[in-house]
Amino acid sequence: MKLFLDTAHLTEIQTMWDIGILDGVTTNPSLVAKEGRKFDDVLKEITALGIPSVSAEVVATDTDGMLAEGRRLREIHPSIYVKCPMTPAGLKATKILASEGTRVNMTLVFSANQALLAAKVGAAYVSPFIGRLDDISEVGMELIEDVVQIYRNYSFATEVLVASVRHPIHVLEAAKIGADICTMPYAVMEKLVQHPLTDIGLARFLADWQKVPKG
């Protein structure tokens, strides 16, 4: 499973990229707004790191506007995936952009039928938002199970990108189901690395090493 960071914060991206566990980055208008910087500048800096997949979202709500924004975004760097929302206009824009060779990440997906439509119009990624479903007392991970099964049934090439991840158990469950990608906040990716027994074990090894005769 590929691991993406859901952030527009360059330092966070750089840190995980340097460790070597990062496969891509997803952004959205809210994450970009938090940085207080120009969208294009942020995208140029992220892509300059060599990140192979960087999702950048359109904000137009009509097809023509999405097409114009999507075409402009993809020109910024070849690793950019254009995010279009799951609306009729977004589906139409996705089909056209995909036919032009642009890789589209269909976002704001909350049902298996929406995911089926994303695959049918040729989206490269589909992004079901599981945390926001959990927030309204629906089990978000059940949606991932359904989408993975449907895509397998028909051998769709669209990759399932698990989004709106809140904690490491989401990542674990997504991997067990066989989702293609999981995007998560920096704090969640940090927690994937950590285990208290690793820290205790390392401290004990280092303490015992002091007792080994040297020289």
Q: How far is the CB of 100 from ligand E4P (least distance, A)?
A: 22
- Residue 83 annotated to the active site: yes
Report the alpha-carbon distance of residue 14 to residue 22 in Å, rounded: 9
Q: By three-state DSSP, how is residue 109 classified?
A: strand
Instruction: Sort 111 into a burial class: Cβ within 10 Å, 0-12 / 13-18 / 19+.
Output: middle
Give the nearer residue to ligand E4P in terms of CB position, either 158 or 164: 164
Catalytic residue among 38, 83, 120, 176: 83
Q: Tell whether residue 132 is a contact of ligand E4P (CB under 6 A).
A: yes
Q: Where are the alpha helices (DSSP H) in 49-185?
A: 63-76, 88-99, 112-120, 130-135, 140-154, 168-177
Residues 82-121 close enough to bind ligand E4P by CB under 6 A = 107
Measuring CA to CA, which residue among 63, 100, 64, 108 is closest to residue 83? 108
Residue 28 in contact with ligand E4P, rule: CB under 6 A? yes
Could you tell me which stretch among 67-75, 115-123, 125-133, 205-213 binds ligand E4P (CB under 6 A)? 125-133
Q: Residue 122 gets which letter from DSSP?
A: T
Distance of CA 27 to the CA centre of its chain: 8
What DSSP string describes 79-92?
TEEEEEESSHHHHH
Q: Contact region for ligand E4P (CB under 6 A) — 15-23, 40-48, 128-136, 195-203? A: 128-136
- Minimum gap (Å) between residue 135 Cβ and ligand E4P: 8
Contact 30, 59 (CB under 8 A): no
Task: Name which position in 129, 160, 181, 182 contacts ligand E4P (CB under 6 A).
Answer: 129
Closer Cβ to ligand E4P, 138 or 199, answer by number: 138
Residues 144-183: x/- map of binding to ligand E4P (CB under 6 A)?
Answer: -------------------xx------------------x
For 106, which DSSP code?
A: E
Residues belonging to the active site: 83
Q: Which residues make up the interface to ligand E4P (CB under 6 A)?
A: 6, 26, 28, 107, 127, 129, 131-132, 163-164, 183
